[in-house]
Amino acid sequence: MAEKLFTEFPSVPKQVWEDAIVKDLKGADYQKKLVWRTLEGFSVQPYYRAEDLKGLEGSNGVAGVFPFVRGTKDDNNWLIRQDYLVKQDFSKANALALDGMMKGVTAVGFDLSETENVTKADIEALLKGIELTCVEINFKGCKDIKVLESFIAIADESNVDKNKVNASFDYDPLKRLNATGLYCGKCAAETLAKAVGLVKEYPNIRVIGVYAYAFNDAGSNLTQELAYGMNMGSEYLNLLNDAGVCVDEAAKRIKFTFSISGSYFLEIAKFRAARVLWANIVKAYGAKDENNCKIKVHAVTSAWNQTVYDPYVNMLRDTTEAMSGAIGGVDSMEVLPFDHAFRKPDEFSNRIARNVQSLLLDESHFNKVVDPAAGSYYIEELTDAVAKTSWDLFNEVENAGGYIEAFKAEKIQGAVKEISLKRDSNIATRRDTLLGTNQFPNFTEVADKDITKEVVTRKAAPVKSGDMIGTPLEVYRGAQAFEALRFATDNAEKRPTAFMVTYGNLAMCRARAQFACNFFAVAGFNVVDNNKFDSAEEGAKAALEAKADIIVACSSDEEYADAVPAIANIVGDKGIVVVAGDPACKDELISKGIEHFISVKSNVLETLKGYQTKLGIK
């Protein structure tokens, strides 16, 4: 006889939980203390319950069934992809690909973006020794239709089983629009229609790319990336429809490439929401076969999140991002090597990138459960919130005439820029942490020999000119402003020293010294910490003996009023006196000529730039 467990524990109504929380808050604002307002614009509650799932689309569904929130297939396997820049050395790229396949790669990517006039012989050289039915083959940076024509000719000549050839080609005119502002509608439609026609006998070749990753590169939030990616896909359905290609044929030839950013649970929700959104979009276009409503997703860890200082931390970022992609149910994934941002990755960094995924598959068994997030009250709610917010953004663009018209009107770029500015501000003020860059830096690190000024310098924002129909998206990394700051210090004639004058209350002076050391080390300054001086005056004299450039007063608020002016009198014009904290006596200190304060309220970036300027560092 079946017996229900835990019947002796009665269900606790939500209101009881709420009353207990309000009581524990002791008058603090519930919304401010416990409710998280995301950068995407929706609120995340401190907890969720089973009743919150009522009415959520697909929350009780199964994998492979419309709208596919649980997944588009009955397993959670994904392909491990690694891309190889070809340039003009096709044999070398082939050798690298074969080597990668021996070490765990199951999806090969050939990047032709820096290659010109690709011939059939070139493609044959790329594919030498690669069994077309055993590995997924992907081509990036396809400049013309000849690449696809050559591939199809080679496949035909090989007499392979056409149903077993898995490949993709990124014919993506809107990717070029995003990057350059240039677009030719007639050329785009002709190319896409021809590409679809060439693969009519190959059911598993995708020829149209939707490079939604571009929005993450520009600092967007994840609902913008998702929504605008859907708009791009919708634009292609329209173009192909106008060219006489039915929606069922068009949809099954499209492949999306998304980023995986550092917001762990939100990214899981994003991929689940992507399946729901695309399924509903394709169905609204009149697809007759629901299988053609299934989205095909390739995911790449975020270049925007990567840092060039303390670069091994990128391995940790890659790992959590890859976990989001795996749990979210992507079809293939590329983990960017940890040194991707500042040099050509070598065998070690490529191996680590591959092995992140191999570990998730073979040791952590992430592929053994379909939709591991299913039933989680939190992630199910996040999925719904991401889907609804993205759907609203999608409709805004559609109502503006579609992606191209919205891009012409600068709506896309303006919306992304608004979010990127918020993200930049959050990093500058350390509301968002980039470990090893704007918080907890490696105090003794200096720039790697491969890090150049160009790597850390954010390029000037693009402007519309010439034949552009809109301003290109601005590509950068979130860490670059702080990296440029530290790089300037690394290359200065003299590395400044910040000296901690610790005195008075032991707990406060140590806490503030640790904060200040971390603060100034972000800019690459030498920091000299001290346990505790017997007096502020003794500390100030020690700072002068150490020839410190910045003298930081570290104590309790109560001990600042008299001691800081005394420190300033001893230091004179031989250094910059800084107060660690935002003391109640701040106005009094300012009236006595004390100008510099650092606290958790500081804009760390601008404050450190100011000190560099005072010290002659450019």
- Residue 607 makes CB contacts below 8 A (sequence gap 6+) with 598
- The pair of three-digit structure tokens given for residue 74, joined into one six-digit string: 């009955």
Cα–Cα dist 356/318, whole Å: 8
CATH number for the segment(s) 10-71+174-491: 3.20.20.240
Residue 339 contacts residue 306 (beta carbons within 8 Å): no
Q: What pLDDT score was predicted for residue 1?
A: 55
Query: What is the crossing angle of helices 185-198 and 222-242, to 10°?
Result: 80
Q: What pLDDT score was predicted for residue 54?
A: 85
Q: Which residues of the chain have pLDDT under 50?
A: none
> Could you report the per-residue pLDDT of 500-515, keeping only the tens digit for each?
999 999 999 999 999 9
Residue type at 600?
A: V
Q: What pLDDT score was predicted for residue 184?
A: 92
Distance between first and last Cα of the chain: 78
Task: Give domain limits for the chain.
Answer: 10-71+174-491, 492-614
- The pair of three-digit structure tokens given for residue 302, joined into one six-digit string: 């975020």
Q: What pLDDT score was predicted for residue 614?
A: 96
Query: What is the crossing angle of helices 604-614 and 411-428, to 10°?
Result: 70
User: What burial class does residue 547 get, using C-beta atoms within 10 Å of its C-beta: 0-12 exposed, 13-18 middle, 19+ buried?
Assistant: exposed
Q: What pLDDT score was predicted for residue 61?
A: 79
Could you tell me which residues are beta bridge partners of residue 256? 210, 297
Residue 302 contacts residue 260 (beta carbons within 8 Å): yes
Please state which of the four CATH numbers 3.40.50.280, 3.40.50.1820, 3.30.465.10, 3.40.50.1100 is assigned to the domain occupying 492-614.
Answer: 3.40.50.280
Q: What pLDDT score was predicted for residue 11?
A: 85
Cα–Cα dist 56/344, whole Å: 45
Residue 335 contacts residue 301 (beta carbons within 8 Å): yes
Residue 461 contacts residue 219 (beta carbons within 8 Å): no
Q: What pLDDT score was predicted for residue 448?
A: 92
Q: Tokens 């190319």 correspond to what residue? A: 191
The gap from C-alpha 211 to its chain's centroid, in whole angstroms, comes to: 14
Q: How far is CA 266 from CA 195, 390, 590, in A?
A: 35, 13, 44
Q: How far is CA 197 from CA 153, 168, 465, in A?
A: 14, 14, 35
The answer to whether 10-71+174-491 and 492-614 have equal CATH topology is: no
Residue type at 442?
A: N
Residue 453 contacts residue 486 (beta carbons within 8 Å): no
